[in-house]
Structure 1
């Protein structure tokens, strides 16, 4: 099914330099005061009688975790501040201890941080994933028209659908995008990895995201779909611009306009490929999707385009963060980095622990369908619920020494890919890419250090994704 890759051909990576996150359109446009659409996803009416934040008089005066003698101010959950983006885990711990079902006035949403609560909501069919349509329905006609392509295609994404729509879309897509087809990508992953390391060569100054963690998963999913590698720069630009709607924590009409144009461009991009595959099938995922049948059922034209956009976008954005966050964690725990370098058989366990310790997805969002009681709170129909995945993965109620990286850890599975009905369809591919890439990186460079260890990395300002804008390293063979 897979096309061969030529390890000796640098042009497989495209002629233009991979686009750094430092030059993303989000940075050029800047942010506005309006809340975003994962903002979009969360804007609902304020309800009377709820605690406004952890300053509620019903709560005890908190102390800083690890420093019981130091009294600090009551917590305000502000997920877009530089301090929170750099290290959200102290705030998560206080929420877990003091207000595990927290009403955030800023988000107009509930925020869950404990492992068992997040897992419970993941499994609850009375918590809806259909959170875009309610937002789109609130838009005045002219505003809806301005993001017509976004509405048209993102509304079809299975991640934003409930059964029976979700069941049908996932059943059809899983017939061709399945564990066996993903595992068959290992040789391609290894070859792309070798090409990227060859391009880095003997350089000792590396931006790990620009030079490796960004291109690797993008090229892997492009290879799987059948998109030429020469389109890498364009694919990344379109994806970054779509992320202004999907993942930005702050937004503006300008950002919506950019995301709308990118969605239309990507739809036209895939429409041309799909038409070509109808006329002349190839050995790639797009051809299989076009010719997919399940009895009388098949994907419509818009469903085909939406599925290709979803696979391309989701297939590399979170995996970039997974690989980069994973290496950052290893650099910060040198003994664990040495252990992985010396024992590649640790790869599978190491990847699971790295996904738990600082995963690539900050949150998933649900909408309450029926009245729920959680702890001492009541969640009403229409309420938004943020399930903080990375918080759940560091819950000391689920993990011993939760804030320590332990590559040989056994026990409770992490929730990074979600759980239950909406568990990430492509998680076997993301796992595989980490299992191939991270041990190879550990062996390839005997010295891996942050270029400016005294300076915290600049993190993407997102409520959904957890990743860095860039990751400058000093490396030696």
Structure 2
């Protein structure tokens, strides 16, 4: 890894919170040292991902985040509930229809992925009909963002995905510039006259971030939570008997084996942690899923308990980089969990052990075949 590995709850919080000695900008030093960058073969990755607020430090991070806070206020997110409910109903109907036809139902492909992807695409103003194309581009970008360990040509595949997605969003930005609509892309275009206005490249980069982050981690949250609910059948039965447990169940999904394995950071100065001397420029991986099993922070941390009352997990991060989309992810997962328990109480896994995505940063399974009754 050529990096420091941080695993304890208190230390992971410190890494997430410390924005003076620890930088979120892990891309700039990587790109400078990467031979593919020197050959100009990952130009789109460099050009657009460097505008992602998750990779920026203040003051750039502050300016970018300020522009998006309004889109993810509690009221704004709550207003999305009817659309989320509608999508969930449509997807469960679709799974039931596939089952009646004798077709294999894949919980990931048929539910966990299209739910958050459709929500964020609607919010941005991206046609749902493009879901398939977006999935291919997003999967390629994920190889780079997720620090894949075995995928071949991951930089070139991620470059291809970033190039295709940036071209796609550039066309949408040009369209909204000529005729704004009631969607987030239009609001970003119209904000160009504000003091915090975004450049065209920043708008495109941010659209890629919102589309990628808006579905990738939530898909994993909904998928992982369902997987462990099926493996711990007593907890699923608790939920079926009382769907109001959906809120605390989602928090346990986030803790027990959450959608984000680790935070990647770079030391911006020499610092000391856990008795170790970390030098400026060295990388750190703060493993949130390890912190969330720390017995110093959680009672009986290895137990999967959807009714857990004290649950200070760090899955959404901490401090200025606390996940902007956390309220939306929680709402999507809570609605999905409650409706699944109500409509598909007898659902079961039908495959063997699942295959996990090749990623250190992202934590999720590729497929989950199920039987509905």
The TM-score range, normalised by the shorter chain, is over 0.9
Q: Is the counterpart of residue 396 in structure 1 residue 290 in structure 2?
A: no
**Cross-structure match for 1:68:** none
**Cross-structure match for 1:122:** 16
Q: Secondary structure at the match of 1:209?
A: helix
Q: Is the counterpart of residue 462 in structure 1 residue 359 in structure 2?
A: yes
Paired positions, count: 368
Instruction: Give the conservation status (yes or no) of the 8 Å contact 1:274–1:286.
Output: yes
- Residue 68 of structure 2: which of 142, 162, 173 is its match? 173
Q: Please give the alpha-carbon distance, in whole angstroms, between the structure 2 residues aligned to 1:253 and 1:155.
A: 23
**Cross-structure match for 1:212:** 111
**Cross-structure match for 1:289:** 188
Q: Please give the alpha-carbon distance, in whole angstroms, between the structure 2 residues aligned to 1:286 and 1:197.
A: 29
Q: Secondary structure at the match of 2:157?
A: helix
**Cross-structure match for 1:182:** 77
Q: Which runs of 5+ in 2 are unaligned?
A: none
**Cross-structure match for 1:374:** 273
1:328-350 CA distances to partner (integer Å, 9 max, x unpaired)?
11111212111111212212111
Q: Secondary structure at the match of 2:281?
A: coil
Instruction: Give the conservation status (yes or no) of the 8 Å contact 1:176–1:288.
Output: no
Deviates further, 158-167 or 259-268: 259-268
Q: Please give the alpha-carbon distance, in whole angstroms, between the structure 1 residues aligned to 2:78 and 2:43.
A: 37
1:116-139 CA distances to partner (integer Å, 9 max, x unpaired)?
110111111211101100011113
Q: Please give the alpha-carbon distance, in whole angstroms, between the structure 2 residues aligned to 1:140 and 1:340.
A: 51
1:166-220 CA distances to partner (integer Å, 9 max, x unpaired)?
1111111223343322221111111111111111225174210011101111111
**Cross-structure match for 2:314:** 415
Instruction: Give the conservation status (yes or no) of the 8 Å contact 1:242–1:258.
Output: yes
1:257-316 CA distances to partner (integer Å, 9 max, x unpaired)?
222122111111111111111221111111111112574330110000001000000000
Q: Please give the alpha-carbon distance, in whole angstroms, between the structure 2 residues aligned to 1:111 and 1:426.
A: 26
Q: Is the counterpart of residue 199 in structure 1 residue 98 in structure 2?
A: no
Q: Please give the alpha-carbon distance, in whole angstroms, between the structure 1 residues aligned to 2:194 and 2:110.
A: 45
Instruction: Give the conservation status (yes or no) of the 8 Å contact 1:361–1:465.
Output: yes
Q: Please give the alpha-carbon distance, in whole angstroms, between the structure 1 residues aligned to 2:192 and 2:69.
A: 12
**Cross-structure match for 1:163:** 58
Is the alpha carbon distance of 1:405 and 1:258 closer, same or farther for their aligned partners in structure 2, counting shifts above 3 Å?
A: same
Once superposed, which parts of structure 1, at least 4 consecutive aligned residues long, lie more than 6 Å away? none
| Aligned ranges 1:62-73 → 2 under 5 Å | none
Is the alpha carbon distance of 1:251 and 1:406 closer, same or farther for their aligned partners in structure 2, counting shifts above 3 Å?
A: closer
- In terms of fraction of residues, the more helix-rich structure is 2
| Aligned ranges 1:131-170 → 2 under 5 Å | 131-140=26-35, 143-170=38-65
Alpha-carbon RMSD: 1.7
Shift of 1:412: 4.1
| Aligned ranges 1:442-457 → 2 under 5 Å | 442-452=341-351, 455-457=352-354
Q: Secondary structure at the match of 1:378?
A: strand
Q: Please give the alpha-carbon distance, in whole angstroms, between the structure 2 residues aligned to 1:240 and 1:369.
A: 30
**Cross-structure match for 1:265:** 164
**Cross-structure match for 1:435:** 334
Q: Please give the alpha-carbon distance, in whole angstroms, between the structure 1 residues aligned to 2:139 and 2:274.
A: 39
| Aligned ranges 1:353-368 → 2 under 5 Å | 353-368=252-267
**Cross-structure match for 2:304:** 405
Is the alpha carbon distance of 1:294 and 1:387 closer, same or farther for their aligned partners in structure 2, counting shifts above 3 Å?
A: farther
1:3-52 CA distances to partner (integer Å, 9 max, x unpaired)?
xxxxxxxxxxxxxxxxxxxxxxxxxxxxxxxxxxxxxxxxxxxxxxxxxx
Q: Please give the alpha-carbon distance, in whole angstroms, between the structure 2 residues aligned to 1:463 and 1:170.
A: 25
**Cross-structure match for 1:233:** 132
Shift of 1:423: 0.8
Q: Secondary structure at the match of 1:364?
A: strand
**Cross-structure match for 1:112:** 6
Shift of 1:143: 3.8
**Cross-structure match for 1:343:** 242
**Cross-structure match for 2:203:** 304
Q: Please give the alpha-carbon distance, in whole angstroms, between the structure 2 residues aligned to 1:439 and 1:256.
A: 39
Q: Which runs of 5+ in 1 are unaligned?
A: 1-106
